[in-house]
Structure 1
């Protein structure tokens, strides 16, 4: 079976620890439940991602070099 998460076109997905989640929440003035959602079954997620985790997604961008987004992992 092919591991889609390792494909060159899939952006980097990183599970955040509690300290990083708090920093993101404070920076944007939101709680983690306000974040856009991503399903646990999404093949791009790292295998260690669990429901309730927050994932940082870093994509290449033509205008800003890197575009960073955050997603809450749901069932």
Structure 2
């Protein structure tokens, strides 16, 4: 969890549940593995709505399943 914001990104859990790799997600959404890794490890300071929407489409999830207040 990001202590500064209290928001946790559940990307790792969602990838695991769907049997998808970070590499495959990167291919699907057009975002670098490095940037997805930053998000996955709760080190991101910002995320574009377009990126958020693309991740949610690729993982077939809602924003509230990906980002949670912890």
More strand, by proportion:
1
Tell me: higher relative CO, structure 1 or 2? Use CA pairs within 8 A at least 6 residues apart: 2
What TM-score results when the alignment is normalised by the length of structure 1?
0.31
What TM-score results when the alignment is normalised by the length of structure 2?
0.33
More helix, by proportion:
2
